[in-house]
Amino acid sequence: MTTQVLHTVHISLEERSYPIHIGHDLLAGESVFSGLPSAHTALIVSNTTVAPLYVAKLKAGLAPHYARVLTLELPDGEAHKHWETLNLIFDVLLANTADRKTTLFALGGGVVGDMTGFAAASYMRGVPFVQVPTTLLAQVDSSVGGKTGINHPLGKNMVGAFYQPQMVLCDLATLGTLPPREVSAGLAEVIKYGPIADMEFFDWIEANIEKLVSLDSVTLAHAVKRSCEIKAWVVGQDERESGLRAILNFGHTFGHAIEAGLGYGEWLHGEAVGCGMVMAATLSERLGLVDAAFVARLTRLIAAAGLPVKAPLLHAADNAGAYLDLMRHDKKSEAGEIRFVVIDGPGRAALRSAPDALVREVIDACNL
């Protein structure tokens, strides 16, 4: 198969603007790299799972553009998204005397992208980087928008930077090697864009959910494109999450509590978000913002994507209390008040606080 760019989405952030190329076999496509700032050295950061599949191909694509292409394999998984792993990137950069024009390529899923992005933001106070997301989740969400970071024992993504890549390459060919569970996890973030911003897209996802689950490539290309467009529109208006951008966290407040409560890695991020969207939609219903039919429809689609729709038990004696405690520690909380993204009518999201008693009812209603 030859390199083919199917869609290009532009993220408009003044001098930090960048293109997202979506297509087939982009890794080895030398031409897409010609727009990047020139540099002597490139560093491909990947993980032990993805590297054997795609590093050689990307390295070949970069060879005409850089005198030296270094590679680094990080351990795979959310459990390694901490300082010690991040430091491996600085170690290899410094051991190779990499200068401040050195360009980093994040080849992998969200964890590789977040850590490589934060390393690029911080190495010598900022070097260029390119996102090459190889999971559906990363292609439709984490590689777009400039959020980078690592976890802290007391909270996820608590240390990081807003730092934009020079380019994002979404190579659909890399999705072929994804385990089905990760495909479903990625679809959670695709589905998310419907209720918060675009019910026509939601209709389309409903009509195409089987093709998406089975990785039909033309269908996937449209899902990635439309997801990136919506995210680009939101991020373009609120790069640093002072307002509107928070709507992208629909399902994430409950979802983060699930991830933290079960221990990171037990559920995939997308799985937690899938279930979290059911919970946030249920809260929206209890607040009188949407009807029960809407919640049921969203729940059906999430289930059809292969995602969990029932909330796990985090604590035997006071389960709702455990959820509330975890959510109060979320980054989006302010002075201990939890700010929920709710659906304020289909296709429109809003930020709301809610009485603890009501949130407890929602958690109980959504439990297994």
Count the Cβ atoms, other than its own, within 10 Å of residue 283: 27
Contact predicate 119/104, CB 8 Å: yes
Catalytic residue among 59, 252, 271, 319: 252
81 marked as part of a ligand binding site: yes
| Choice from 147, 222, 256, 269 touching its own copies (CB under 8 A) | 147
Residue 249: name the closest of 193, 291, 181 by CA.
193
Binds its own copies by CB under 8 A, chosen from 54, 123, 201, 323: 123
Alpha-carbon gap, residue 130 to 125, rounded angstroms: 16
**126 interacts with its own copies by CB under 8 A:** yes
CB of 39: closest distance to its own copies in angstroms? 9
Stretch that binds its own copies, among 179-187, 205-213, 298-306, 326-334 (CB under 8 A): 326-334
Residue partners of 165: CB distance under 8 A and separation at least 6: 18, 106, 117, 120, 129, 130, 131, 143, 146
- How do 155-162 and 147-152 pair as beta strands? antiparallel
Residues that bind its own copies (rule: CB under 8 A) add up to a total of 40
Q: Which residue has the tokens 């390295």?
A: 59
Residues 271 to 310 in contact with its own copies, rule: CB under 8 A:
none
Contacts to its own copies from residues 222-261, by CB under 8 A: 240-241
Torsions phi, psi for 347 (to 5 deg): 90, 5
Instruction: Find the part of the chain contacting its own copies (CB under 8 A) among 3-11, 272-280, 300-308, 323-331.
Output: 323-331
124 lines the binding site for its own copies (CB under 8 A) = yes
Distance CA 162, CA 141 (A): 14
3-class DSSP state of 351: strand
Interface ranges with its own copies (CB under 8 A): 40-41, 83, 87, 90-91, 94-95, 97, 99-101, 121-126, 147-149, 152, 154-155, 157-162, 240-241, 328-329, 331-336
Residue positions annotated with a catalytic role? 125, 147, 189, 231, 241, 245, 249, 252, 256, 269
